[in-house]
Structure 1
Amino acid sequence: MVVTRAVPPGDAGAFFAVTALALMASGIAKLDAGNGLVYFVARAKTYDYLGISGYIRAALVPCVVASCLAAALLHAKLGPVAALLPVMVACDVLLAATRGFGSMRPTVLVDGVLVPFAQLVLVAAVCAAGAVSWLPLAWGAPYAPALVVAWTALRGRVPRTPYLPGTVRDLWRYTAPRSVAGAIQAVFQRLDIVIVALLAGPAQAAVYTAATRFKVVGQLVGQGLAQAVQPRLVTALAAGERARAAELYQAATAWLVLLTWPVWLAYAALAPWLLRLFGPSYGSAAPVALVLAGTMMVATACGMVDVVLTSAGHTGRSLLNLVAAITCTVALDVALIPAHGAFGAVLGWSGGVLVKNLLPLWQLHRRYGLHPFGRHTLPALRGSAATWRTAAKQSVPATEPPHGVRP
């Protein structure tokens, strides 16, 4: 919102394209080693974390090397942000290792507080100074202190243990399919912004980014639940406790619905007004918001289905699902964006999200009999409906404001 109101749509779209490209590059360079670490650290608890320091080194070194290569290749496009790619990647891997030890606090502190708050302050300062060319660096700079915090948080948790033969092989045998899947996931999350900028221009990319910015709310809730539940799912499925795994999956889905459906319903109802907060030219993106809200409600009803699939060890199947999803998205984007701009992009994104969630949902039900609905579902839906009714009464004015007065 700070960027869209401070700079013209063309400059805002160019900035969003750079940050999207940086996040795509770092997502690919992470090689999904973080999830591999969570898997092995959580399982190693049974053996007093024997050899766990070797797993951390085996995950961290290839990711740093990959991110340095990405920085060299993308320096012309990213400018000074390229130098921060290894920092972003190392920070993510180290935070994942702390979650494997069962601690959510470092992730919350760094990803939930430090980085976004510092980004907001620095970006706002650059916008106030009128130095548009410094926006990407202001966005990327907070990852440097975040890496220091992540390293400090992990250092006190890793016991000194001897290196176990086969550590690298075991880690990457499990993680390799997820590395490809993680790269595709990183592309899937941000590719639409880049495609809109290429096919419809930076101004449409700015409109699309603003209209879809609210999907971060649902993604953060889902990410937080997944990070908290994943180690427990791995343990339950490894021990053959299918009932326990089903309980965790269904409880997490109920919380996901309860926390996010009121947001999507409210966004769909208030989109024309909310989008104008980004600037007068962004109000036309209301149809994009409606498609986004409906799609995210379906996706959250499926729960963290891909996390359950990979926790059961099916990383290869997860990879194929992601390939199908991104293929659907790119095909629809290329067909629809030239004629429909941002609206065509959200339709392509919606098709990919539905494929990404419904395919693993069917696979889990067929193989394990797992599904996201259980005894928690109806109470969560009732709570979601009650929250929405309360929010609607408090949010929507009883009368229209006078002409020329913004609500």
Structure 2
Amino acid sequence: MSTAARDRTGLGRVARGGALNMAGAAGGALLNLGLVVAITRGFSPDTAGVLFAATSVFLIGSAVAGLGTPSGLVYFLSRMQARGTGHAAARVLRTALGPAVAASLGAAAAMAVLADDLAGLIGEPDAATYLRLLAVFLPFAVVTEAALAATRAYHVMRAGVLLDKLGRPLGQLALVCTAAATGSAGLLAVAWAGPYLPAAVLAWWWMRRVVGAHRPEAPPGPAVLPVSPGSPGTAGAGEPSDGAGEQVSPRAFWAFSLPRSAAGIAQLGIQRAGVVFTAALAGAAEAAVFTAASRFPVVGQFAAQALQFAAEPRLAELLAAGDRRGASTLFRASTAWLICLTWPLFLPAMVYAPLLMELFGPDYAAGSRALVVVCLAQLLASGLGMGDLVLTMTGRTRSNLVNNLLALAADVALCLLLVPAAGASGAAAAWAGAIAVRKSLPLVQLVRSPGIHPFDRRWALATGSCLVWFGAVPALSAAALGTGPGSLAAALAAGSAGFAATLWLLRGPLELDLLLRRGGAPVGAAG
């Protein structure tokens, strides 16, 4: 593809925004991994398991209270920018943020009042105190996520990197280490959730600054009437659309956002249900083992989220302009980039799973099988790309909701079947099954409708390179040198050197050279 064509598609902007997010994601992943290590090494497995179960409830509650506003803000604000109607952004922000803040206050009150019942439901009565403390900070988590989503709609990635990827987890790590040093398990919940408060204040300020800087003056003449779902421009039958008007009606906004909210809750349920079910069916210690096993793949998930945050507004703009070819190109290129970012993490982790699990302490070594299964699931998720995001940006949030509900149902059913017998390994297998459902269904729907899929030459080059340098090389190193730290270091050194050389040779076909270009969209636009 020519440079001009790639600039029109926005690959350069997405690549640079993804690189910035990736840098933040790498730091954030290390901080979050350090946070889990600090908890597991500073407190007993039972205490760690109780906290992990309580924070899972907190995150599910914040997803419920968010009402899908982050996705809605990115979708509508990006489309309005593409159509030159950005002067109406304030109306969209009022439509979104008022109900979200009210819902978060209600959810926080319900969480505090029902703390004993929720603790009993997850099988950990000691979690009630944690839940009451966490409830205080739930509205700040909702505000932070919504405000940062609004900045992403304008391709401003610095706010999310500095506040969400680095600032908040750094604060959490510092406070948790302080609690561990003092031996006070009672401070754990406040240490984990406290940084959401300053993050919310700064995110709100940054959102107002970005929106104000990008708001054009309203054009003269009468405003176009608000558009409701089903009007011209819908992306699919029965799906909401903002049409081509200057304003977005509350009905149109919530017709898009509420199904996305329910899908996000289901998706978070897939991520966290294993912890809750393992705590309830196999005990807090097994829940802590499963949580620890899932931390290494979370590094890859942060990388995927980094690229998704950069691609999301551009996909909305391309689809708003009817450029399905450009959206397909972005989908395929981003899938290859995602594989190059994440498979080098998952493949060696499978080979050296026992060694990595020992980082959390001797009680966690038995979780190596769970780590292998979770890594396999993440290989599949990365290899199939961001089909769920593409489906959402076409406006088909109801289809996305159905997909996530089916995946959650699979996760729950498999947890009930496998966790009582296999503990953490059973929860990992259930998670893998849910991911297979959630990632494969959007591809079937996209192929049948817009004809978009992630597979092309770039996909083959990315997977082949990763399998050679981070699959075969670590396997050979483990066979020759064992699975100790020296063997892992040698495998990573050889694999990284070979992979870097391969990516340099393939930078054109993989379109990684866009990271080095300053043409097209300005580099600062991604920041």
**What pairs with 1:277-356 in structure 2 (closer than 5 Å)?**
277-356=359-438
What are the within-5 Å matches in structure 2 for residues 118-197 of structure 1? 118-159=171-212, 167-197=249-279
**Matches of 2:135 and 2:280 in 1, distance apart?**
21
Counterpart of 1:10 in structure 2 is: 46
1:253 aligns with 2:335: yes
The equivalent of 2:446 in structure 1 is: 364
Structure 2 residue 235 is the aligned partner of structure 1 residue 235: no
Q: What's the secondary structure of 1:306's corresponding residue?
A: helix
Asked if 2 retains the 8 angstrom alpha-carbon contact of 1:26 and 1:88, the reply is yes
Cα distance in 2 between the residues matched to 1:182 and 1:52: 24
- The separation in 2 between residues aligned to 1:239 and 1:144, in whole angstroms, is 38
| Map of 1:213 onto structure 2 | 295
CA distance in 2, matches of 1:249, 1:401: 37
After superposition, give the CA deviation of every residue in 1:298-323 in whole Å (9 maximum; x if it has no partner): 11111011000011111110000011
Greater mean deviation of Cα atoms: 88-97 or 140-149: 140-149
Q: Deviations over 1:361-400 (max 9, x none)?
A: 1111121221111232233224424542697399869646
Quick one: which of 71, 74, 92 aligns to 2:145? 92
Q: How far apart, CA to CA, are the structure 1 residues paired with 2:481 and 2:392?
A: 50
1:225 aligns with 2:307: yes
Kept in 1: contact 2:256–2:397 (CA 8 A): yes
Distance 1:304-1:401 versus aligned 2 partners, 3 A rule = closer
Residues 210, 275 of structure 1: 8 Å contact kept: yes
1:52 counterpart residue number: 89
| Structure 1 residue 135, shift from structure 2 partner | 0.7
Q: Give the Å deviation of 1:95.
A: 0.3
Runs of 4+ in structure 1 displaced over 4 angstroms?
160-166, 393-402
State how far apart, in whole Å, the 2-side matches of 1:115 and 1:390 are: 37
Greater displacement, 6-15 / 172-181: 172-181
| CA shift in 2, pair 1:387/1:57, >3 Å | farther
Corresponding residue to 1:33 among 65, 69, 72:
69
Match of residue 69, structure 1, among 106, 109, 113: 106
Q: CA deviation at 1:352?
A: 0.7
The one-letter code sitting in structure 2 at the alignment partner of 1:301 is: G
Looking at structure 1, the residues matched to 196 and 49 of structure 2 have their Cα atoms a distance apart, in angstroms, of 22
CA–CA separation in structure 1 for the residues paired with 2:109 and 2:209: 33
Distance 1:143 1:270 in 2: 35
1:316-343 CA-to-partner distances (Å, cap 9, x unmatched) read 1000001100001101111111121111
Unaligned 5+ segments in structure 2 are: 1-36, 116-127, 227-247, 490-527
Cα distance in 2 for residues equivalent to 1:278 and 1:394: 26
| 1:379 alignment partner AA | L
| Alignment size in residue pairs | 403
Opposite residue 391 of structure 2, the aligned amino acid is: L
Farther-moved stretch of structure 1 (203-212 vs 45-54): 45-54
Residues in 2 aligned to 1:157 and 1:48: alpha-carbon distance in whole angstroms: 16
| CA distance in structure 2 between the aligned counterparts of 1:107 and 1:114, rounded to whole angstroms | 9
Q: What residue in structure 2 maps to residue 103 of structure 1?
A: 156
TM-score, normalising length from structure 2?
Answer: 0.73
Identify if the C-alpha distance between structure 1 residues 351 and 397 changes in structure 2 by more than 3 Å, giving closer, same or farther: closer
* TM-score normalised per structure 1: 0.94
How far apart, CA to CA, are the structure 2 residues paired with 1:98 and 1:214?
A: 29
- Contact persistence 2:387–2:442 (CA under 8 A): yes
For 2:475 and 2:273, the matched residues in 1 are separated by: 37
- Decide which structure has the larger Cα Rg and report it: 2
Residues 378-387 or 276-285, more deviating: 378-387
2:62 aligned partner, one-letter code: S
What residue identity is the alignment partner of 1:63?
A
Check whether the contact 1:275–1:286 (CA below 8 A) recurs between aligned residues: yes
Provide the C-alpha distance between the structure 1 equivalents of 2:478 and 2:208, rounded to a whole number of angstroms. Answer: 50
How far does residue 189 in structure 1 lie from its aligned partner after superposition? 1.7
Q: In structure 1, how many angstroms separate the alpha carbons of the residues matched to 2:377 and 2:267?
A: 17
